[in-house]
Amino acid sequence: MSYANDMPPKSPAVLIKDAELASELRVSVMRLSRRLRTERLDEGLTPTQLAVLGTLDRGGSMTLGELAALEKVQPPSMTRTTAALEERGLVIRVAHPTDGRQVLVSLSREGRALLLEDRKRREAWLARRFELLTNDERALLHAVAPVLERLAQA
């Protein structure tokens, strides 16, 4: 028997509580996300372009297809996005070393600097907000952060 089969089915009351939690969490996360977006550098980048820079920073050089899959967009959209970033000098495209039909995209020095400055600004805002919290509330957020990441990856 698996763990899921060993667990009793959820009662309607638990399902309602899950639905209420989902609603509360959705609203809170969206408000926090919206507020963090207002702290972005005003460099004229779209959220998608900034996300691509972040993906390249975390994952290193990759093909347009890999980038498109990670960002959950169609390859033609990723081609346009990376072309705009390349035009601004934020990414570099080079020939794939083993497949002449593909290119690898990576962050340029300017792209990495812009991304780091953007992150620094938003994290500074968030750190200032933490000053309003108690030590227990900070500890709770520290414990919850990995759970939120797991939810985001599902």
- Report how far residue 92's alpha carbon sits from residue 113's, in angstroms, rounded to the nearest whole number: 14
85 and 30 share a domain?
no
Domain span holding position 29:
1-38
Helix, strand, or coil here: 66?
helix
pLDDT at 23: 93
Confidence band (pLDDT; 50, 70, 90) for 49? Answer: very high
Q: What is the pLDDT of residue 5?
A: 55
- 66-87 mean pLDDT: 95
In contact, 43 and 114? CB cutoff 8 Å: yes
Same domain, 77 and 2: no
Identify whether residues 56 and 127 lie together within a single domain: yes
Q: Quick one: 142 and 106 in the same domain?
A: yes
> What pLDDT is attached to residue 1?
44
Distance CA 67, CA 55 (A): 8
The predicted model gives 9-29 an average pLDDT of 81
